[in-house]
């Protein structure tokens, strides 16, 4: 009798263990698709619009290191393009950058300039969106 009781008890324990394993597998089967499913695709961050603008700055802007300071400001901001003196005693050029950066460069050309310059006005023409930047850096043309 003790032998039957022991065997019966062992079968009962195995039966309980099998039931627990089956329940665990069933639970995993239900959860697995959610655990293994890839995360929902998130769109890549929006690329900033790239803009190009031609500029001309009027006032006391020649002989006061305006082009040098323009180049320094452009490089600091991450603007590419060029600038040069004109026969009209102005400084002209082209600037390209992401829209918010270009807005800051335009502000600099209108309001800041070199320490000895006296800006009367800055004109911006031909502002347009570009697919890619046309220049590697910002240069001073002679």
Q: Which residues are catalytic?
A: 67, 85
Which are the contacts of 44, defined by CB distance < 8 A and separation ≥ 6? Answer: none
Whether the Cβ atoms of residue 52 and residue 95 lie closer than 8 Å to each other: yes
In sequence order, the 6+-apart residues with CB closer than 8 A to the CB of 119 are 57, 58, 59, 60, 61, 109, 110, 111, 112, 113
Distance between CA 56 and CA 93 in Å, rounded? 7
Strands 138-140 and 80-85: parallel
């Amino acid at each position: 009798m003790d032998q039957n009781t022991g065997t019966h008890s062992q079968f009962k324990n195995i039966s309980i263990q099998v039931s627990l394993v089956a329940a665990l597998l069933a639970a995993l089967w239900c959860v697995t698709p959610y655990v293994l499913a890839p995360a929902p695709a998130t769109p890549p961050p929006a690329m900033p619009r790239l803009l190009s603008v031609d500029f001309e700055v009027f006032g006391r802007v020649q002989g006061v290191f305006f082009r040098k300071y323009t180049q320094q400001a452009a490089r600091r901001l991450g603007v590419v393009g060029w600038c040069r003196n004109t026969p009209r005693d102005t400084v002209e050029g082209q600037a390209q950058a992401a829209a918010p950066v270009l807005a800051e460069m335009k502000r600099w050309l209108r309001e800041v300039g070199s320490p000895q310059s006296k800006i009367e006005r800055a004109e911006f023409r031909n502002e347009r969106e570009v697919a890619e930047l046309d220049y590697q850096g910002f240069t001073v043309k002679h």
